[in-house]
Structure 1
Amino acid sequence: MLVPGASSQALTAALASELGEPLAAVEYDRFPDGETLAAVPGFDADTATIVASTASNDAYIELLQLQDAVREAGAEEVTTVIPYMGYARQDKAFEVGHPISARAVARAVSTTTDRVVLVNPHEDAIADFFDVPVDIVDAAGLLAEPLPELHNPLFLSPDSGAIDIAETVRDAYGSGETDYFEKVRHSGTEVEITPSETDFEGRDVVITDDIIATGSTMSEAVAVLTDGGANRVFCATVHPLLARSARTKLSRAGIERVIGTDTIERDVSDVSVAPAIADVLER
């Protein structure tokens, strides 16, 4: 039986359809003091697959409650699918005395589940933070599906560390070059982008990344491309967090379209990761 987190209801429904499995009835509530309550009234199954993106602190508490609730209801085997893992970019201590937050939340999730499935975590090594087996789904190739026909396409990543995503999207699309920008981060919101050496004038460009958070990096890259004569510029991201004014930044920079998956359910979630997750769950 599939159990949806509040922020992953559409994805869980799609996954239930892929697997031919029923959806559990779930209730999400909040007490007067602000504490959350996630419950599965009437749950009656030996196995449970919880699907919950954790883009907020409340979402993590809700996930832990759902895991505990299905155990309390008698589930003998629990699988936790985290389409988007919050805190995944805090995978090391920034300075002495700081936590490794990705490890902290991974250990908490591990206490009441038997298996975890992640979709494009910030680093694959994050899987090592969990105390249970972890499978990683690579959904980057799905981002090519909604792309229109492109003229002399160029697939760019914001930095060298994400070039594999650009290559995956390019391969799925079927043609084009790949390259990356040089990026220097001066603060949490200030990023300096150095143009790629690849000629992009008159070409359609797709900037790819695992996540668009505040949009600062992407908007800088889009502006460099549009100012330099690129034809059309698209952004393709597995996790369209799009926090704060990210959409406005991208629009002002001249973006043609933002394409994302439903790991975080947004209006730009043009493609579902449900089939890719279903393939892993059925192994």
Structure 2
Amino acid sequence: MTDAVECAARLPVEEHRGPAWNAIVRDDDLTLETPVALVYNGISHAVMMASPGDLEDFALGFSLTEGILEHPHELYDVEVRHEADGIALHLEIASQRMAELRQRRRSLSGKTGCGLCGTESLEQAIRPIPSVTAPAPGDDVIQHALSRLREHQPIQAATGASHGAAWCDLNGDILITREDVGRHNALDKMIGALSRHGTDRQAGFALVSSRASYEMVHKCASVGIGALVAVSAATSLAVTQAEAAGLLLVGFARPGRHLVYHRPVGMTPARAHG
């Protein structure tokens, strides 16, 4: 995991404090944000604004959650190139996957842009979501993981502007954490690390420092993660997608409380208190 020094820049700021509002000039750590291009077999596919750490994990996680790759072994190599305007990730992938990516790109050519790039109809806006098998972390397990998340976020501690995504075992211990200025990127990085290690998806759950949107649920389900816990709220579409996938979705995870938005059929609910 990248440390805070690699993903932060120290810059001078003016700090104003009341009641006199005297200005104090001091140095402050800011999260780095840079364009990162994903280039597949020599063809540029996407540019994301991201933190410049754990980029090999990001390359693999993004490729899996976006459906470009089906398995980690279809990624043969990643070369990180630092260029004048940002960073280019050059991925060498299996020829069959590249052929499918080329076909996807041809099907998108000539379409006008909108909020979902290359999408021309409502039917295409929401991708089919695979079914997953959800583990059943108990309330105490969720709270234990939540209580440890902050200590696993050095970039957030230094800058206050970074999201975290963690993989927790069924005891609530955090095994893998990745950070990024973007919440989707943080999750992709964590999924990339998880995939490289070949971790059993039934042996834990994902914990994210952000809200649980449709994309976060979809990314988890696309790689077989059956439980997602978010520090902030879930969206209505995230709940709908969790229901379709059979994914356990928990949100507003704060010390001493959390909300279960969807519990799969057959999963024993936590005992009510109060």
TM-score scaled by length of structure 1: 0.27
| More relative contact order, 1 or 2 (CA 8 Å, 6+ apart) | 2
Q: Which has the higher strand share?
A: 2
